[in-house]
Chains A and B, each alone.
Chain A
Amino acid sequence: MIPFVKEDAMKKKLWGFLFAAMTAALAWSAPKTELYIYNWSYYVPADVLAQFEKENNVTIQYKEFSSNEEMYATIKGGSNKYDVVFPGNDYATLMVRENMLEKLDKSKLPNIANIDPAISAKKISDPNNDYTVPYFLGAAGIMVNKEKVPNFEKSWAIFSRPDLKGKMTLLDDPREVIGAALKYNGFSANSTNPAELAKAKASIVDWKKNILNFDSDTFGRGFATGDLWVVHCFAENVWLEVSEGQADNEKYADKYVFFIPKEGNASYMDTMAILKTAPHKEMAYKFINFIHDPKINAKIADFTRVPCVNLKARPLVTRKPNYALADVLACDLKVDLGDKRDLYSQIWKDTRGGE
């Protein structure tokens, strides 16, 4: 995603440096095993990776992707060096169908017993974690500048307010916006019922009158400068702009508030899976098990600020997540729409695409 450009470059440099240092170290010491991880940007704290490397005498080769499409295209395109991937739940479903993922040997993953069953149950296609292990469950929501908008209801109806015209943005993402409009009208965020979708479309047409733009890239910046007062967003993206990431976001609690609207929303889950083609399967099992070690998982939750998915880790979490577990559990996890996607595309063309 574009707001990450600068940090990405820095990170690349950092990894480049680490890589060089590791290669140098390799030349001196005995050859280490490797583990290839393919993951989203900013999902696993660096010290967690370092600890795993140290404990297992392994070198992690870490590559980041910025969308499920990119990850899927890379793996589908024949890249067979990766061991662990972090697909979103809808893409994980697709990858299981395409026979790309290893059926997990749970005897090698004792820690996944710690995972909240309510979280795993959200994965309708794989509730028993046979192929995929939840990494986290999150949802988009609305961030409001309280100084500019002192009175508001925690509802999607905020986008219908003409007094906020030109000061709001919706995500440039059909699933998120249509999902939100469906929930606003009291339907499932995965609905494929034409009558329900028509109502959702009417809401979007209404919201469009008041928003400045459909924006997934620059709203964080506009929000930080005070040009935008209400943004439909992923909390972590905005915190990246208004403060130094999420590290100190409590300082801004008086000024900004993030919430998942009371009507609910669409949610997404990122999972961990081992590829059928993984060259280092044993190490991959160790890694997934390590991530769900309570101490480690608490550390990750403190970093991502997403409600912790691991029951034993929850008491160890020290920082308040960006939104409550109950709120995200009340959301509908996005499922792969398959050939019904056209219904959503048509609404998007009619609303976003200039009709």
Chain B
Amino acid sequence: MKKPRLHRERNYGTIYALPIALWFTVFFLVPLLVIIVFSFLKADVDGGVMPLVSLDAYRNLLRPRIFRIFFNTIWVSVVSTLITILMALPCAYFMAKSKAKTFLLILVIIPFWTNFIIRVFAWKTILESNGVINSLLIGFGAIANPLPLEHNWIAVIIINVYTYLTYAILPLFSTIEKFDFTLLEAARDLGASKIQSIVRVLLPNVKAGIVTAIFFTFIPLLGSFVVQQLIGTKDMYMLGNEINDNIYKYFDWPTAYAIAVVLMLLANVGLLFVMKNDRKQAKAASARRVDDVDDGPRAPRQAISVAGGR
């Protein structure tokens, strides 16, 4: 007799995944394909593209001008990302250990309730010559003339850090929250200094969170243009501005798309490299686990398997 098939044995995975698959196809994959395909077409004078295959857009990128802009973009993005991560890590650590997690999370998310451009303008009111900081300093007699806080790279980087801090804190928080803090005590018991325990036990275990935070910060920064446009000077011109000007000023969509394609390629190469590295480490870790099965302390072993599992 045929056994009645149990309801829960049926695999609903495909059906559950259908809405998101459709969503991604329509709103992610199709635009992505449009960007890639258009970057290989010829620009139409009034914007848009003509159905003619051409490498003009990519040839336009091989200019010294573009390399200079690219260099600008990379260093600003790298510095902004580094500072963001360095600030987000202790913050996420504190939040994860705090009793008021939800409250702190809400505090971190609150700035998101306001439009980004309005927040940049808020920074203007803080930094400008008769802004909050200068008025205070002049009011207290600390300075006689306002400091030039606006219109420099530092201001741009400060606002970049401010903008992406939340994006960095959230993934870090969610990984650190799952971290077993008794491991730190174990490390200290076994003779590690406070710094050693953080560098050798905590950081490797929250690596996935750090990598996510870096990508959430670095990749959008590569294409950013608003901050330097509103706070910067004539020399602060990045790839985001170049993309924007190609669309709105030069009506050269393929070149704008080609820049986006190159940026996407770079980001994905970085991502693949990190993932490959991760897998290698995981393999090494599981090999080690077999080796020190007798003398290794229990807790770090668990820690390694957590890291390896990601």
Chain A interface (Cβ < 8 Å from any Cβ of B):
2, 5, 69, 94, 172-174, 208, 211-215, 217-218, 221-222, 225-227, 338-339, 341-342, 345, 348-350, 352-355
Query: B124 and A338: CB pair below 8 A?
Result: no
Interface residue count for B (Cβ, 8 Å)?
32
- A217 touches which of B151, B229, B248, B250 (Cβ 8 Å): B229
Q: Give Cα distance in the complex from A227 to B146, angstroms.
A: 10
Query: B252 and A212: CB pair below 8 A?
Result: no
Query: A348 and B118: CB pair below 8 A?
Result: no
Given A213-B151, A227-B129, A353-B245, A341-B45 contact (CB < 8 Å): yes
Given A5-B118, A349-B65, A221-B233 contact (CB < 8 Å): no
Query: A227 and B128: CB pair below 8 A?
Result: yes
Residues of chain A within 8 A of B234, CB atoms compared: 208, 211-214, 352
B237 lies within 8 A of chain A by Cβ: yes
Expressed in whole angstroms, the minimum distance between the Cβ of A225 and any Cβ of chain B is 5
Expressed in whole angstroms, the minimum distance between the Cβ of A119 and any Cβ of chain B is 27
Nearest A-chain residue to B248, judged by Cβ:
A69
Query: B252 and A345: CB pair below 8 A?
Result: yes
Residues of chain B within 8 A of A214, CB atoms compared: 234
Chain B interface (Cβ < 8 Å from any Cβ of A):
45-47, 65, 68-69, 72, 115, 117-118, 121, 124, 128-130, 150-151, 229-230, 232-235, 237, 241-242, 245, 248-252
Q: Give Cα distance in the complex from A69 to B248, angstroms.
A: 8
Residues of chain A within 8 A of B233, CB atoms compared: 212-213
Expressed in whole angstroms, the minimum distance between the Cβ of B231 and any Cβ of chain A is 8
Q: Give Cα distance in the complex from A342 to B68, angstroms.
A: 22
- A226 touches which of B115, B118, B130 (Cβ 8 Å): B130
Known: A212-B151, A222-B128, A349-B65. 11 other contacts (CB 8 A): A2-B230, A5-B115, A5-B117, A5-B121, A94-B46, A211-B234, A217-B230, A221-B124, A227-B129, A227-B150, A345-B252
Query: B129 and A174: CB pair below 8 A?
Result: no
Nearest A-chain residue to B64, judged by Cβ:
A355
Q: Give Cα distance in the complex from A342 to B234, angstroms.
A: 22
Query: B124 and A345: CB pair below 8 A?
Result: no
Q: Give Cα distance in the complex from A213 to B235, angstroms.
A: 8
Query: A354 and B69: CB pair below 8 A?
Result: yes
Given A2-B117, A213-B232, A218-B230, A352-B237 contact (CB < 8 Å): yes
Expressed in whole angstroms, the minimum distance between the Cβ of A231 and any Cβ of chain B is 14
Query: A354 and B65: CB pair below 8 A?
Result: yes
